[in-house]
Chains A and B, each alone.
Chain A
Amino acid sequence: MKFQRTNADRESWKWPSPREIVRLVVTLLAAVLLQTTIAPHIRILGANPDFALIIVVCVALLRGAEVGAIFGFLTGGLVAVALMEPVGLGAFIFVLVGYYAGRYAETADLSAGFAPLVSAFAATFVATALYAIAQVLLERQAPLGFFLGRVFVPSLILNTLLAGPLYVVVRFWLKEGGDLREARVA
């Protein structure tokens, strides 16, 4: 898999249509509302599901790196604002997740169908690790055993399991603009 853009990639890139942008905005609002109103009430094995992160991954897989990165930035920023958490941290992490999930979709073979699960797993892995590093820099520390057992592993399992159904819903909602897989097959 190569993450570097080729000239052909750059030339084939086009911005989403206005209708697509409206659908993306609705998806963005749904992601923020799910994360701020539903997710706080669901706690399994000590972890809350990260609907926002999974939806960023789904959008990036369907729309590519640029849209994924912008969508990630806006989602991360809005969720932090709504939950009164440090603004900027989530946006930064979600930009990375959105961009690299998008690049993965543009460069890898997604025909097997488990790309959403693999991407959500990898995204949760990276996001949780980056978040933990940032928290340590902000002088919040947790014992390693607690972090692994009550934060890291439960989040990985929960988000990976939720990625499948959420991907189906997001794909159905954004279907109008086609997806990367179909575009490449064509």
Chain B
Amino acid sequence: MLTFYFRGTDQGAAGGAQGAVLEVVGPLQKGTSVVTKPFRDGWNWTTGLFRANSENEALREEVEQLRAGLAQELITQAENEELRALVKLDGRDIFPDGVELVTGRVVARSTTAWYSTVTIDLGSDDGVGVFDAVVNGSGLVGRVTSVAGDWSQVTLITDQQSYVDSIVMPGGAEGILNGSVTGDVSLGYVDKNERVKVGQHVLTSGRKGSIFVRGIPVGVVESVGAQEVELYQSISVKPFVDFRKLDIVQVVVR
């Protein structure tokens, strides 16, 4: 059965069976998701209170630093606007012509720590296909890995087998963003000679052949390290998306 599954395709018998079962289970998952949402929100709010207390001190320090950096930020912002005008890029123009964003909701999550996947209430009937990028208001969520009529499975960027062609801005250092079972996300294959700093933004590079369009925000560089024996830098990235509270998402349909 395992051999049959791993050697089969999404359109094969195993994929077809999964799609058929999901058509039955999907509405139930959606209903449960709606019913349990107030409880999940309540739990998140309670745990958030405890977290907020410990974060308070750190935030005070951060405010001091931000005040110092504000002047520099205003200058950078002015430069940024000029550059945007030059390349005629604004927030709404991230996605090229012909791309459609379809909005849906997360209805289920993987129950094991080994897989970072969610099920959403969009499928082939909505035009969603395998390898479509999935985003939300904060940035890149993942990519579609299986599709049924009204439901799809999305592999999150925190999954161990998720690879995203990415670029660090400013600077333009390119690398491959990879998740892990622990939920940590790292940017690999960045040359040691590239200068990458903490706080820089990571975006999808959208190189030719990439399944993601260029410029989708992914996260911010959290730490940078390099050992002499290694060829590449070790870069940890904090995703913009809070995967614990993932609810409304958009699929980039091409």
Residues of A within 8 A of B (CB): 32-33, 35-41, 46-48, 50, 77-78, 81-89, 91-92, 131-132, 135, 139-143, 146-147, 150-151
* 8 nearest A-B residue pairs (beta carbon): A88-B1, A88-B2, A142-B181, A37-B32, A48-B111, A87-B5, A41-B36, A40-B109
- Least CB separation from B146: chain A residue: A84
Once the chains bind, are B108 and A37 in contact (CB under 8 Å)? Answer: yes
Interface assignment of B25: CB less than 8 Å from any CB of chain A: yes
B22 contacts chain A at the CB level, 8 A cutoff = yes
- Separation in Å of the B100 CB from the closest CB of chain A? 24
- Per-residue A-contact encoding for B132-148, CB less than 8 Å = 1, 0 else: 00000000000000100
Q: Is B59 an interface residue (CB 8 A)?
A: no
**B residues lining the A interface (CB < 8 Å):** 1-2, 4-6, 14, 17-18, 21-22, 25, 28-29, 31-33, 36, 39-40, 108-115, 117, 119, 146, 153, 160-161, 180-182
Chain B residues with Cβ below 8 Å from A36 are 25, 28-29, 108
Asked if A33 contacts B181 (CB within 8 A), the reply is no
Q: How far is the CA of A77 from the CA of B2 in the complex (A)?
A: 11
Asked if B161 and A82 make an inter-chain contact with CB atoms under 8 angstroms apart, the answer reads no
A146 CA to B25 CA in the complex, in Å? 31
Cβ-defined contact, A37 with B112, below 8 A? no
Contact sample, A vs B, 25 pairs, CB 8 Å cutoff: A36-B108, A38-B36, A40-B109, A40-B111, A41-B39, A41-B40, A48-B111, A81-B18, A84-B22, A84-B146, A85-B110, A85-B112, A85-B115, A86-B2, A86-B6, A87-B5, A87-B18, A88-B5, A89-B2, A92-B2, A131-B112, A131-B114, A140-B114, A147-B181, A150-B113
The smallest beta-carbon distance between B176 and chain A, in angstroms, is: 16
What would 9 more interface pairs be, CB under 8 Å, given A37-B31, A37-B108? Answer: A32-B25, A36-B108, A37-B28, A38-B32, A39-B111, A81-B21, A82-B25, A84-B18, A88-B1
Bound CA span A17–B111, Å = 34
Interchain nearest-CB distance for B162 vs A (Å): 12
Instruction: Output the nearest chain B residue to A41 by Cβ-Cβ distance.
Output: B36
Contact A83 B182 (CB under 8 A): no
Q: Give bound CA distance, A80 to B76, whole Å.
A: 50
* Chain A interface, DSSP helix/strand/loop, else mixed: helix
**Does B110 contact A47, Cβ atoms closer than 8 Å?**
no
A135→B40 CA distance, assembly (Å): 29
Chain B proximity of A149: nearest CB distance (Å): 10
By the criterion CB–CB under 8 Å, are A41 and B32 in contact? yes
Structural contact, B6 and A84, CB atoms closer than 8 A:
no
The residues of B that contact A141 with a CB separation of less than 8 Å are 160, 181
A65 to B99 alpha-carbon distance, docked (Å) = 55
Q: Is the CB of A37 within 8 A of B113?
A: no
CA–CA, A120 and B115, complex, Å: 23
Q: A135-B114, A142-B113 are contacts. A86–B5 as well, Cβ < 8 Å?
A: yes
**Which residues of B are found within 8 Å of A85, using beta-carbon distances?**
110, 112, 115
Whether the pair A142, B114 counts as a contact (CB closer than 8 A) is yes
Q: In the complex, A36→B221 CA distance in Å?
A: 35
> A92–B17 Cα gap in the complex (Å)?
18
Contact A40 to B110, CB < 8 A, known contacts A86-B5, A87-B5, A89-B2: yes
Residues of B within 8 Å of A87, CB to CB, are 1-2, 4-5, 14, 17-18
B108 contacts which chain A residues (CB < 8 A)? 36-37, 40, 83
Q: Which of B1, B117, B146, B161 is A140 in contact with, Cβ under 8 Å?
A: B161
Residues in B neighbouring A132, C-beta threshold 8 A: 114
Q: Which residues of B contact A81 (CB under 8 A)?
A: 17-18, 21
